[in-house]
A and B are shown apart, each in its own frame.
Chain A
Amino acid sequence: MSGERGQTARIGDRALSSAFGPLTAYRLPLTAVRNLLRHRIRTALAIAGITVSTAMLLDMVLLAGGIERSFGRLLLGRGFQIRISPKGTLPFDTDATIPDATRVRRIVAADTAVVAVGPLLGTSLYLRMGDSLVTLFGYGVDPTAQANYQLESGQDLAPGDSSGVLLSRPVAERLGASAGDTVTLVSRLDPEAAVAGVERRLTVRGIVHWLYDYKGQPSVGALLPVMQDLARLRAADRVSALIVKVRRDKDADATAARLRTALPMLEVNSVAALVSRFRERLVYFRQLSYILGSISLIITVLLVSVLMTITVNERLGEIATLRAIGISRRSIVRDVMAEGTILTLVGGVLGVLLGAATARYLDRILTSFPGLPAAISFFVPESQSLALAGAVLLATGILAGVYPALVAARAAIAETLRAEAT
Chain B
Amino acid sequence: MRKLIQTLLDHIGARLPLPFRVMHQQFLLRVVDLEALSIEADIPSFLGQFAGILMMLSFVHGLGVLWFPPPPSQTWQYEQARVSDVLLVIGLCSVLMWDTTFPDKRDVMVLAPLPVFPRTILMAKLAASATVLGIAVIALNCGSSLGLSVVFGAPAGGLLGMLRFFLAYWFTMFAAAAFLYGAVLTIQGCAVLFLSRRMFLRVSAILQLAAFGVFLGVRFLQPSLTTHAEMTAPANHWLVVASPTFWFVALLNQLNDSSPSDLLWLAHRAWISLGIVAAGALTSLLLCYMRNMKKTVEDPDLEPGTGGRHWIPRLGGSLQNAIVIFCLRSIARSRQHRVALALYWSVVFAVALSWIRREISNPPEPIALDFIMSSFVMMSFAVLGLRGIFALPVSLQANWMLRVTQLQPTGQYVAATRRCLLLFGVVPIWTMVAALSLHLRPWPQTAQHLAFLALFGAVLVELCLVRFDKVPFTCSYLPGKTNIQAIFWGFAFILLALGLLLGTFEVDAFENPLNYALMMLCAFAAITALRTINSLHARSAVLYFEEQPPEVLTRLGLIFVPPAPKISDLPKSSQP
Asked if A pairs with B, the answer is no
A contact set with B: CB distance below 8 Å: none
